[in-house]
């Protein structure tokens, strides 16, 4: 029986690894569809940002209580995986608690620490569920935030329930294990007392040895299979940010948030017109102004889309959204990811090559009305806990609509014309620009 379990475990582990590899490969290929962008400068500064923001959860502590709860889930997820590593070794080698003889009496303290983390995850997930279902935090609700309708709303709840069940499985497994040790079952070596799971032992004390074996094995298999399912599921979920938060913060923008990246070709043309630069040869003409579809964006923009946590902090701080406009920075990121997902499926169906499907990011996923509502205030960029930049995508889409398709609103075209002819947004002669100061000197003396 033990050999059958060992073979089954190795087979399931191999299938899980293959599924995760296939999915990661699709994500990697779709991110690399983006344009090249150099984000390798100042590695020390980038590493410091990653450690502060991704590992240290710095921006989550803007809301202290939520920051503590999120940190509990995050640290629990990272450190409990050390116990998962032991379970994988046990399953593959046909052993039980393979690290116990190596660690001696310290093993019980280590497992008790993991149980403490499990309880932290359990409590935090329950509170997060209450926030979603009972108190109904506005930015997490569907309705006005139409991007949260359907799967995104369910996804957030499912993962919390899933984590609660997994933590209960760990505690139940350890409680049954302790009782089997007390009985003297030779397979369950003496490890010492597991502090927190002892509270569950009264639940199982009335069971005989065979039933305890069933409970322990069921909890063991349920936990590890749950971890395997989670490993695959997370690559399709918003919880991919658990992994991508690290590279995404490392490759984040180091320049000031308010600085907009100009198109080099346009900048050069303006400088030539102003006599600040001499033209050498014919001016370079870009294939497209701005971005029409995801390949026109940079690879970092596409990584941003996959890294989005869907927390809605960006949308909750967006002045356009707060005043009832259709713009939601969270939706911009989710729509970009949806487009990447569709392209990934297209490539998988066509042996790795993308076959044009007649769709584009702007128009089919993101509406013109959304990008025109943006005030470029950078509130969304400032609020993001993993340093995503929705504004950069909005600006590039807007550039395409205005510069490539000449589809700017009439009031904007008037402003552009005034800037071109009068060097100001208003329609008056440059010579009259300082007329407003006339009489100020006299009034100040009076």
Per-residue pLDDT tens digits of the chain, which is 446 residues long: 578 888 999 999 999 999 999 999 999 999 999 999 989 999 999 999 999 999 888 898 888 888 888 888 888 877 777 788 888 988 888 888 888 988 888 999 999 999 999 999 999 999 999 998 998 888 988 877 889 988 888 888 899 999 999 999 999 999 999 999 988 888 888 888 888 998 888 989 888 999 999 999 999 999 999 999 999 999 999 889 989 999 999 999 998 877 888 887 777 777 777 777 777 666 666 778 889 999 999 999 999 999 999 999 999 999 999 999 999 999 999 999 999 999 999 999 998 888 989 999 999 999 999 999 999 999 999 999 999 999 999 999 999 998 888 888 888 888 888 887 877 787 777 777 777 777 776 655 55
Tell me the CATH architecture of domain 264-426: Orthogonal Bundle (1.10)
Query: Which residue, chain included where needed, has tokens 């579809």?
Result: 293
- pTM summary value: 0.86
Count of beta carbons in the 10 Å neighbourhood of residue 159: 18
Question: 87 vs 58, 90, 129, 322, CA distance in Å?
Answer: 32, 5, 28, 48
Q: Are 313 and 384 in contact (CB under 8 A)?
A: yes
The pLDDT, as a whole number, for residue 283 is 60
The pLDDT, as a whole number, for residue 312 is 92
| Closest C-alpha among 142, 110, 128 to residue 68 | 128
Angle at 280 between CA 275 and CA 284, to 5 degrees: 100
What is the rounded distance in angstroms from the CA atom of residue 256 to the CA atom of residue 7?
A: 55
What is the rounded distance in angstroms from the CA atom of residue 309 to the CA atom of residue 315?
A: 12
Q: Take residue 149 and report the two structure tokens written for it.
A: 């309708």
Q: Are 155 and 237 in contact (CB under 8 A)?
A: yes
Question: 126 vs 70, 117, 133, 165, CA distance in Å?
Answer: 12, 14, 10, 11
Angle at 60 between CA 228 and CA 244, to 5 degrees: 40
């Amino acid at each position: 029986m033990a050999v059958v379990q060992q073979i089954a475990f190795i087979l399931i582990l191999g299938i899980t690894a293959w599924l995760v590899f296939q999915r990661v490969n699709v994500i990697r290929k779709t991110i690399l569809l983006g344009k090249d962008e150099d984000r390798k400068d100042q590695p020390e500064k980038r590493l410091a940002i990653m450690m502060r923001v991704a590992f240290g959860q710095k921006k989550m502590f803007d809301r202290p209580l939520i920051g503590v709860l999120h940190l509990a889930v995050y640290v629990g997820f990272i450190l409990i995986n050390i116990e998962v590593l032991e379970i994988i070794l046990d399953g593959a080698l046909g052993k039980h608690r393979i690290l116990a003889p190596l660690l001696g009496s310290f093993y019980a303290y280590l497992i008790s620490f993991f149980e403490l983390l499990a309880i932290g995850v359990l409590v935090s997930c329950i509170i997060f569920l209450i926030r979603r279902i009972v108190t109904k935090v506005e930015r997490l609700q569907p309705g006005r935030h139409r991007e949260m309708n359907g799967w995104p709303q369910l996804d957030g709840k499912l993962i919390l329930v899933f984590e609660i069940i997994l933590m209960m499985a760990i505690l139940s497994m350890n409680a049954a294990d302790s009782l089997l040790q007390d009985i003297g079952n030779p397979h369950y070596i003496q490890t010492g007392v597991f502090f927190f799971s002892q509270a569950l032992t009264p639940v199982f004390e009335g069971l005989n040895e065979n039933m305890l074996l069933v409970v322990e094995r069921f909890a063991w298999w349920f936990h590890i299979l749950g971890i395997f399912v989670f490993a695959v599921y997370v690559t399709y979920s918003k919880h991919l940010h658990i992994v991508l938060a690290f590279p995404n913060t490392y490759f984040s923008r180091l320049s000031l948030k308010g600085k907009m990246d100009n198109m080099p070709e346009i900048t050069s043309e303006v400088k030539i017109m102003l006599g600040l630069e001499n033209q050498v040869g014919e001016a370079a003409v870009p294939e497209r102004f701005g971005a029409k579809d995801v390949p026109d964006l940079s690879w970092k923009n596409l990584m941003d889309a996959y890294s989005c946590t869907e927390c809605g902090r960006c949308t909750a701080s967006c002045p356009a959204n707060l005043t009832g406009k259709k713009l939601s920075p969270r939706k911009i990121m989710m729509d970009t990811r949806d487009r990447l997902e569709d392209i990934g499926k297209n490539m998988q169906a066509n042996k790795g090559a993308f076959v044009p499907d007649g769709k584009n990011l702007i128009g089919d996923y993101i509406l013109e009305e959304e990008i025109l509502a943006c005030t470029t205030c950078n509130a969304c960029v400032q609020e993001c806990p993993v340093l995503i930049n929705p504004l950069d995508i909005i600006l590039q889409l807007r550039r395409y609509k205005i510069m490539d398709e000449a589809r700017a609103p009439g009031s904007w075209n008037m402003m552009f014309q005034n800037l071109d002819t009068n060097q100001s947004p208003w329609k008056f002669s440059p010579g009259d620009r300082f007329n407003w100061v006339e009489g100020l000197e006299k009034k100040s003396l009076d």
